[in-house]
């Protein structure tokens, strides 16, 4: 019987991409984000099964992470997501405890049912990254989109509730303004989260054709390479991303996992320490 699981082993058992498991670790949903290699428990696997079930029900992975992080913050000390029944109904996350007060030891007693509607909390460290959005980002208008910026804004608005429609909006934006790096990266991220790695890779490369110095595109290409088992390519992409933007904490974390797997403990320690500094 296994008593602990690596991120890669957990991903294989649950049926999630390894990048999704790593992002859940960094979001604080499972394991410990400041240790490499990750050591996940059987209870962590149960929480990851909840993630998988919500994704299979049609909720985008970034939203699943955010909603579960909100739920976890509301739990009493010592309680975990593994002790809850969580499901998606009508586009919302519904949660209830597994036992009433006075139940057997080891079960969570919750005197409430929690219905989590979509919200806009601060972003959680994830795997595939968005481009930073400034305070003057365009606001969606009520009329039908007509310009590239309007289609881009529509795509941003639709990502949480309708990723398919968001993909269509980003495509329309790019037909009008193909030099928009943000649209390429957002479109690639949605393709990656839907399992279409080839389409995602093409989008990130298109972003680099527009701006060869885009660190986010290099980082996201590294994520795709790492998920595909191309560790050497992933290391190259993460290093290039860090040359362009030394504040990419996730790139340091992923490099730490890769170097730990290859047996280079010194490099793994160096990158996990950089990750800790940036996320402290």
| pLDDT tens track for 127-145 | 566 655 555 555 554 557 7
For the stretch 192-220, pLDDT in tens is: 988 899 999 999 999 999 999 999 999 99
Tell me the pTM.
0.71
| pLDDT (0 to 100) of residue 67 | 87
DSSP per residue, 68-129: HHHHHHHSPTT--GGGEEEEEETTEEEEEESB-TT--TTS-B-SSEEEE----PPPPP-SSP
Top pLDDT among 256 and 92 is at 256
At 2-38, the pLDDT tens digits run 457 888 888 888 998 888 888 888 888 888 766 767 7
Structural domains in the chain plus CATH codes = 7-116 (no CATH), 148-279 (1.25.40.10)
Could you say which DSSP state residue 175 is in? H
Instruction: Give percent above pLDDT 90 in the chain.
Output: 44
Most distant CA pair in the chain, distance: 62
What span, in angstroms and rounded, lies between the C-alpha atoms of 176 and 29?
Answer: 40
Question: Pick the residue with more confidence: 239 or 55?
Answer: 239
Instruction: Using pLDDT thresholds of 50, 70 and 90, give the confidence band for residue 55.
Output: confident
pLDDT > 70 fraction of the chain, expressed in percent and rounded: 80
Residue 217 in contact with residue 204, Cβ under 8 Å?
yes
């Amino acid at each position: 019987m296994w008593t602990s699981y690596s991120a890669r082993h957990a991903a294989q058992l649950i049926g999630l991409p390894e990048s999704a498991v790593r992002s859940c670790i960094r979001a604080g949903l499972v394991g410990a984000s400041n240790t490499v290699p990750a050591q996940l428990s059987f209870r962590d696997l149960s929480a990851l099964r909840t993630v998988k079930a919500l994704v299979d029900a049609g909720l985008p992975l970034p939203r699943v992470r955010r909603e579960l992080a909100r739920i976890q913050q509301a739990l009493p000390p010592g309680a975990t997501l593994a002790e809850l029944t969580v499901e998606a109904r009508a586009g919302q996350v519904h949660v209830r405890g597994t036992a009433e007060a006075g139940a057997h030891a080891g079960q969570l007693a919750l005197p409430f049912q929690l219905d989590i509607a979509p919200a806009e909390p601060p972003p959680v460290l994830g795997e595939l990254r968005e481009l930073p959005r400034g305070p003057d980002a365009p606001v969606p208008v009520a009329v039908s989109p007509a310009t590239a910026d309007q289609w881009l804004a529509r795509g941003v608005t639709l990502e949480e509730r309708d990723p398919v429609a968001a993909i269509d909006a980003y495509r329309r934006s790019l037909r009008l303004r193909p030099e928009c790096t943000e649209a390429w990266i957002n479109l690639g991220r949605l393709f990656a989260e839907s399992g279409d790695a080839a389409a995602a890779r093409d989008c990130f490369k298109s972003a680099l054709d527009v701006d060869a110095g885009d660190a986010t595109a290099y980082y996201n290409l590294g994520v795709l390479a790492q998920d595909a088992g191309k560790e050497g390519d992933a290391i190259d992409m993460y290093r290039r991303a860090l040359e362009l933007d030394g504040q990419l904490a996730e790139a340091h974390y992923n490099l730490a996992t890769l170097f730990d797997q290859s047996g280079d403990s010194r490099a793994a320690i160096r990158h996990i320490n950089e990750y800790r500094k940036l996320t402290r």
